[in-house]
Amino acid sequence: MVRSFPNIVITGTPGTGKSTHSSLLASTYSPSGSSSHPLRQIDVGAVVKAEGFYTEFLEEWQSYEVNEDQLLDHLEPLTGTIAPEPTESEDYDEMETNQAKQQSEEDEERGGLVLDWHTCDVWPERWVDLVVVLRCDHTVLWDRLEKRGYPLNKIQENNQAEIMGVVADDARNSYPAEAVVELTSQESGDVEENVDRIIAWINAWRQARGLE
């Protein structure tokens, strides 16, 4: 199946604002000429817990050991499998574009997933059209995690990961450079500004494929 909306990964160290961005994006974006909201926020951590896609709970780190195969099998039918190529691409396939156009904004296989999780390299490259890595000053991040009641070892681990840019490195190592963008998520207005940028990217993605 060919998706009609891009799949977007919103990732970053815990505390960088993934869920806030994902929720606002899914509730704000509407295609041209429509009032619907076809993007679907997938809180991956919540799905893992609700569906039992884990092998054990790690007490020391207060986190789950995820069964990635079960998780991927669960989400695969929603991804749209492949993205249509841009109309000016050498690989453009008019049949694929027509298939995408024929989908309604309610079709389960339309794509439009907003995958909200602290890691990104688990997702197959064919699923992913854009990876947004949220970044935050580590001192701000420390305060946020303290307010969430994280144990000290988790605060230290996540703070170090943000300083080292672990999630950003994983994204760059897992997906094409043109599919990865880092956005700052620190000040009060950053969320709205970032979501506006992502929506502009979605509009451009659909226009380039003749879907709008």
Under a CB-based contact definition with an 8 Å cutoff, are residues 139 and 162 in contact?
no
Residue 19 is assigned to a ligand binding site: yes
Residue 22 is assigned to a ligand binding site: no
The residue extents of the domains of the chain are 8-205
Residue 17 is assigned to a ligand binding site: yes
Residue 148 is assigned to a ligand binding site: yes
CA distance 3 to 78: 9
Residue 154 is assigned to a ligand binding site: no
pLDDT digits (tens, 9 = 90+) for 111-165: 999 999 999 999 999 999 999 999 999 999 999 999 999 989 899 999 999 999 9
CA angle, residues 125, 133, 36, in degrees to nearest 5: 75
- Is the pTM higher than 0.75? The answer reads yes
Pick the CATH number of 8-205 from 1.10.3660.10, 3.40.50.300, 1.10.10.10, 1.20.1300.10: 3.40.50.300
